[in-house]
Amino acid sequence: MTPNIDPVCGMSVDAQSGKPTHDYQGTTYHFCGQKCRIKFEADPYFYLSGASKRQPKSVTKAARYTCPMDPEIIRDHPGDCPICGMSLEPMEPGVGAATIELADLTRRLQISAVFTLPLLVFSMAPMLGWDFHHNLGGQVEAFIELALAAPVVLWAGLPFFRRGWASLRNLHLNMWTLISIGVGAAFAYSVVATLAPSLFPQGFRGHNGRVSIYYEAAAAIILLALFGQVQELRARSKTGDAIRALMKLAPETALRLNADGSEYSAPLANILPGDHLRIRPLDTIPLDGVITQGHASIDESMLTGEAMPVSKTAGSAVTGGTKNGAGSFVMRAERVGEATTLARMVAMVATAQRSRAPIQSLADKVAGWFVPAVMLSALLAFNFWAFFGPSPAFVFASIAAVSVLIIACPCALGLATPMSVMTATGRGARAGVLVRAATALERLALADTLVIDKTGTLSEGKPSVTRIIGLGLGDDEILAMSAALELNSEHPLGKAVLLLAEQRQLSIPTVTEFVAIPGKGVSGRIGADRLALGNGALMSDLGVSVTSPEVRELAELGQTVLHLARNGHLVGILGVGDTLKANAASALAALQQAGLTIIIASRDTPESARSIGAKLGVAQTLGNMQPENKKRLVQTLQADGHIVAMAGDGVNDALALSSADIGIAMGNGSDVALESAGITLLKGDLTGILRARKLSTALRRNIRQNLFFAFAYNTIGIPVAAGALYPLTGALLSPIFAAAATSLSSVSVIWNSLRLNKLQL
């Protein structure tokens, strides 16, 4: 059932729309021609955007949640990760920041500070000359400290205890296991000492005869743990800045042109492929498409990182999120919604930030053994001080055990790799380097061999006239006559001829009696002259001799040769080929200087491949490389012990890209190539490989630094907490200082990871 009246604005669908229906991916869309664009269904219909919020449940994507530190955990509801205890975050791009958890823990931190600060004053009072025990009495002081500590431990620390219990129940021991046991033991011990001190034997009493209480230590540990968690959540939010910045690049509306020439501002969700949009000066381009009218100078720095504007004319592709300059033009939308380059960038960055670097597996194995080892160390420390320590032995034993549990908390170890990966992938996105998997980014710095496809990677990937040879005529005259013949042709080689003629602003003569000969060329008449333009087969049919050194030379270089004959005589030769990218030679030289061995694998003839290699300064070139040959080349190099990166852009490169240790796809390439690669260079610029390699090197260095921070604190802290310095200082490390050291370890890892945001690429 298709209504004739738009229920939003009441206008007739058929009367107001020059194109009442639009079929797209099996769905018929109907428009009224105004700001409404509605998909009608019998029951129910729903609006694509704007006019109504009604949507059938079938089109609502179910939310999924994952752990930022353990991305293999995926749930259909929010909660805590069963492995590390961290709150699960939505998997949808741009929603990853745990804002609700951050607000909750910030409130708990603020309230904890209100109760903990006076509690610390009570504990430090003797050092300040205040004797609350003498003025209030020991039991009164203990009950006051209990009243101050209870809200901090039992309410503010509740999320930590919940995670700790989950870790024990699931047998995934982690940082929350240590914190919950340490704080819980200190607080429970103190509560019993307050309510029933007579239960404790002499070994648990100090020189003043009282049982020691540790409310201030339990509360301070919770306060410091909350502080560390708040800092971590804020830092994780900053790693999502790249995604949010990308999402903000696209405007919310586009200026859509109607069939009658009128225009209106429509939400992006209302734009369909084939729609024509007007882009005004300084507008942000809303979607991917092609310019149909006008010209512009486009800022494509979001793709390439380069601030220099790119000139665009009719027929040029434009990308959503890039910014128009002073010109105005009309574009035809081609990719909309999740298919746009910008949407794919956002999705790819979000996926990469949840992926795991290989080194994370090592950290996970270490953490799996580390927590039980810490618990054993705490037990050994308790027994040592309980049996061999000075009086009160059990007080010393309790302090040592709790301090070991707290200071050895492996939260920094769990953050070391994921924080670096999240920050590095975001930084890469801003430089036009999209990472699909952290594995590819981490390994790129180790690659020693780079196999590069020619077409679309080293070359522009489209035909152009590279050489004109005149046989008695000038170059422009040959080009003008050839362009006149190709004016009515749809062949890609003909378009290359026409493009060069337009660039040279040549006057193109009129052709009559035009004939297209399939597989051979075209012919026609200009004035009294009979002309033909085509391959050797066409010339043979016309009885025109084409043997010449120039033709052989062009053929050896892999060029397509077009012969121009006039009245049965050869008057010109055009060489059409794929031109090399302007920066190809300099980029390859820089990559070789960086230690990579370059191998060019081309489908051209071996002679053409060697010629290209000579121009680019690459010694190893291979021709006649079919997809299977490229894959076999990669596997052979790997078998010889090389770490191989493969750069390509076409469907024929997909096999080699997926087989290589690191697949690098050019962003202007085929979807199959993009899906097969671990890294995508948005603009297809070879200098992007240099940027990606620099980012990879920085990532590996940053992860090593983070692991050092994590292990250094624990390596030094555990023996100190166990009492190694007691013979020198006569005191044990307070659990409060142990908690401060743990928080400092985590903060060090967080802020070291965020330094990657400032990396110059």
Active site residues: 453
For residues 466 and 497, the answer to whether their CB atoms sit within 8 Å is: no
Q: What is the DSSP string of 545-609?
A: ----HHHHHHHHTTPEEEEEEETTEEEEEEEEEEEEPTTHHHHHHHHHHTTPEEEEE-SS-HHHH
For residues 279 and 330, the answer to whether their CB atoms sit within 8 Å is: yes
Side chain identity, residue 341? T
Cα gap 760→174, rounded to integer Å:
36
The encoded tokens of residue 613 equal 């290699």
67: number of CA atoms within 13 Å, CB side? 17
Cα gap 287→277, rounded to integer Å:
9
The encoded tokens of residue 698 equal 């920085």
Helix (H, G, I), strand (E, B) or coil at 695: helix
Using CA atoms, how far residue 440 sits from 343, 444, 640, in Å, is 21, 6, 20
For residues 453 and 630, the answer to whether their CB atoms sit within 8 Å is: yes
Residue 279's beta-bridge partner residues?
329
Chain centroid offset of residue 671 CA: 17
Give the β-pairing of 597-601 and 620-622.
parallel
For residues 125 and 131, the answer to whether their CB atoms sit within 8 Å is: yes
Cα gap 510→163, rounded to integer Å:
81
Total residue length of the chain: 761
Cα gap 205→198, rounded to integer Å:
10
Candidates 114, 132, 136; CA nearest to 122 is 132
Name every residue whose Cβ is closer than 8 Å to that of residue 472 and which is 6 or more positions away in sequence: 571
Q: What is the largest CA-CA distance in the chain?
A: 124
The residue assigned the tokens 């085929």 is 670
Q: Find the Cα–Cα–Cα–Cα dihedral 343, 344, 345, 351, rounded to 10°.
A: 110
Cα gap 602→621, rounded to integer Å:
8
Cα gap 55→46, rounded to integer Å:
5
The residue assigned the tokens 């007080």 is 395
Candidates 298, 389, 134, 408; CA nearest to 683 is 298
- Consecutive H or E run containing 630: helix 627-639
